[in-house]
Amino acid sequence: MTFTLRPLRAEGYSRGVLTARLEAWDNRRIEVAMAWTGLDGARDMFTGSINTKGYMGLIWYSFRLERLDGKSGKESQEYQLTVYDENDRVPRWFGEGMAYQIFPDRFCRLTVPNPAGMVGGRWVHQDWGEEPEYRPDHNGEIRNRDFFGGSLAGIRAKLPYLRDLGVETIYLCPIFEGPENHRYGVGDYEKVDPMLGTREEFSALCSEAHTMGMRIMLDGVFNHTAFVSKYFNGDGSYPNAGACQGPQSPYYDWFCFQHWPDQYTSWWGIYSLPTTNKNNPAWLEYITGENGIIRSWLRAGADGWRLDVADELPDRVVAAIHDAVRAEKPDAVIIGEVWEDGSNKIAYSVRRKHILGGHCDGLMNYPFRTALVDYLLGGGAERFRDSMETLRENYPEFAWYSAMNTLGTHDTMRILTLLGEKSEQRGQSRDWRAHARLNAHDRAHGKARLALGAMVLFAFPGAPTVYYGDEAGMEGFEDPFNRRTFPWGREDQELVALFTALGAARKTRGALRRGDIRYVKAEGRVLAFTRTLNEETVLCAVNAGQETETVTLPWAGAAVDLLDGQTVEAEDGALTLELPPLTGRLLATPEKKETPSV
């Protein structure tokens, strides 16, 4: 890597010094003299290089400028340089098109299931529109044993809807047998939960989705299992011995007991989610071996894995999952759940290798959501730009373009509620929040903000990911209110139309799929940027404020509005847009039509 400093010649510096700290090599420090290499107008140039061959990890570097007398003048802060393995061939498809996250129990049911004989002591809501159970039981515990009966067959029936929406990747929250409605405590990795369907129905879903141009991504929860599982078998509901039955179980060493059977390591101390022993070779083989869970479900039709709480999995485990995926289906992807900047995340006192190559292909981009929501709720566009540019500087190109960008997930408030409600309402009781809905004024305000956020989401590098029902105007505070059933027949058609238009733009415009990004304006309440690929440019310009704003940028010829199809003409080589309060535009150079051959 070569660095050049350009101080003003009038400041009288004679040389520069580059100091680099190689974190992955025990913080080895090197100093490089930066010699004078010429003039750049009124500026001196001082240049120096560091060799990163054979190194993978973070390098922290800083600069110092010195005068002729050897005294230091300016000294910089430390900057991050991410050195990664460029030989990992990451599939490109995930970050190009629209993704759609489905919470399977709440998306679509065709019949009311009978839970008899299923693990977990579950019960089923007869009315699809009922409120999820949020109250604790007589022991003061929220059990998550209420189900609505959404199924794989229901998802399959709605594939035409998803295709027409523009979806290219369907991300399913866990589908494996589990005692709770969220299924993030897995009971049996080898089985589809019987309320959802069968393995054969899963393969049929994948096959039909593939014919419609969509892929299926599964949720891999490998950090922990369920207390009620064939592996732990805490309540004895499985016929064979689990770890809770003692050392005679083949699964006993898959968990970490401090005192058998009642004291064991669990996720965040939640007894119903016992943590797996990542140091156990049999467990790792079960997950990543040739006939392991990762590979067998790819054979069944899956196209990728999202790794739940990826920070909880040691790097060597994530690397083994990566190798299993590449060996079975080279064009399948691995997306990790990380809530922070994944390039410099420290978990359990270890700097993680999430996106250095050979691990994850991309990460859930919660920093994007945080920055965008902050902007929509009143923050400056400068903050959004700066936080995203820092992320772009820190991320390898493959991870930047494969990021899972979203406005909401099963772990966050519904985006419409967040953008429309008054913050003081969050202090209300759970009973109040269960029945609260936005009034007409607040809902209209939230919808206007959501429209702006959706435009940015679909125009930004990375996969625009929609949490089921956000496009239909669903509301809700925290879990389980953000996991209500999809309102089939009661969708907000204005929002559905908007998301459909954005999905079509993302599917058909190469600049939105893979183009670079350049900020035109990021000032106060106005955010405008372009995506460009070859000769195609798309402009996203939004005004989240209460005053009319103007955006001007160089532009030749006409621009087509990707949302309403209207044409805007540039004048004198510039495009000027007047943006009323809480409005935005998504404009593109006209598509080139091929001249028919004679």
User: 382-421 pLDDT, tens per residue?
Assistant: 999 999 999 999 999 999 999 999 999 999 999 999 999 9
Whether omega for the bond prior to residue 580 falls within 30 degrees of 0, making it cis, is no
419 HSE (CA, 13 A, CB side): 30
CA dist., res. 432 & res. 225, Å (int): 33
For residue 407, CA distances in Å to 31, 97, 414, 500 come to: 43, 16, 9, 16
Residue 21: CB atoms within 10 A of its CB come to 15
> What is the 3-state composition of the chain as percent helix, strand, coil, each rounded to the nearest 5?
30, 30, 45
Residue 565: CB atoms within 10 A of its CB come to 8
CA dist., res. 81 & res. 383, Å (int): 21
Residue 540: beta bridge partners? 529, 586
pLDDT band at residue 593 under the 50/70/90 scheme: low
For residue 67, CA distances in Å to 45, 76, 81, 90 come to: 14, 15, 27, 46
pLDDT digits (tens, 9 = 90+) for 290-303: 999 999 999 999 99
Distance of CA 406 to the CA centre of its chain: 6
Q: Is the pLDDT of residue 110 over 90?
A: yes
Distance of CA 416 to the CA centre of its chain: 18
pLDDT digits (tens, 9 = 90+) for 277-288: 999 999 999 999
pLDDT band at residue 306 under the 50/70/90 scheme: very high
What pTM value is reported for the model?
0.96
Q: Is the pLDDT of residue 596 over 60?
A: no
Check residue 480 and give its pLDDT.
97
Check residue 74 and give its pLDDT.
80
Check residue 114 and give its pLDDT.
97
Using an 8 Å Cβ cutoff, are 62 and 76 in contact? yes
Among the residue ranges 124-128, 133-137, 285-289, 423-427, the one predicted with the least confidence is 423-427
Joined together, the tokens standing for residue 313 give 């999995």
Check residue 592 and give its pLDDT.
76
CA dist., res. 199 & res. 201, Å (int): 5
Q: Is the pLDDT of residue 90 over 80?
A: yes
The torsion defined by the Cα of 209, 213, 217 and 218, in degrees rounded to 10, comes to 10
pLDDT digits (tens, 9 = 90+) for 161-212: 999 999 999 999 999 999 999 999 999 999 999 999 999 999 999 999 999 9
Question: Would you call 44 exposed, middle or buried from its count of C-beta atoms within 10 A (0-12, 13-18, 19+)?
Answer: buried
List, in sequence order, the alpha helices (H) in 312-467. Answer: 315-328, 366-376, 381-394, 397-401, 415-420, 430-435, 440-459
pLDDT digits (tens, 9 = 90+) for 238-275: 999 999 999 999 999 999 999 999 999 999 999 999 99
Among candidate residues 185, 177, 176, 178, the one with its CA nearest the CA of residue 271? 185
Question: Would you call 427 exposed, middle or buried from its count of C-beta atoms within 10 A (0-12, 13-18, 19+)?
Answer: exposed
DSSP 133-159: P-S--TTS-----EE----HHHHHHTH
Helix axes 440-459, 493-508, angle to 10 degrees: 10
Question: Would you call 378 exposed, middle or buried from its count of C-beta atoms within 10 A (0-12, 13-18, 19+)?
Answer: exposed
pLDDT digits (tens, 9 = 90+) for 24-44: 999 999 999 999 999 999 999
Check residue 95 and give its pLDDT.
97
Check residue 138 and give its pLDDT.
86
Check residue 591 and give its pLDDT.
86
pLDDT digits (tens, 9 = 90+) for 515-526: 999 999 999 999
Helix (H) or strand (E) holding 560: strand 558-561
Give me the chain's average pLDDT, please. 96
CA dist., res. 513 & res. 532, Å (int): 10
pLDDT digits (tens, 9 = 90+) for 454-469: 999 999 999 999 999 9
Check residue 597 and give its pLDDT.
53
Distance of CA 249 to the CA centre of its chain: 37
Q: Is the pLDDT of residue 71 over 90?
A: no
Q: DSSP code of 26?
A: T
Average pLDDT over residues 130-147: 93
For residue 200, CA distances in Å to 114, 142, 257 come to: 20, 33, 37
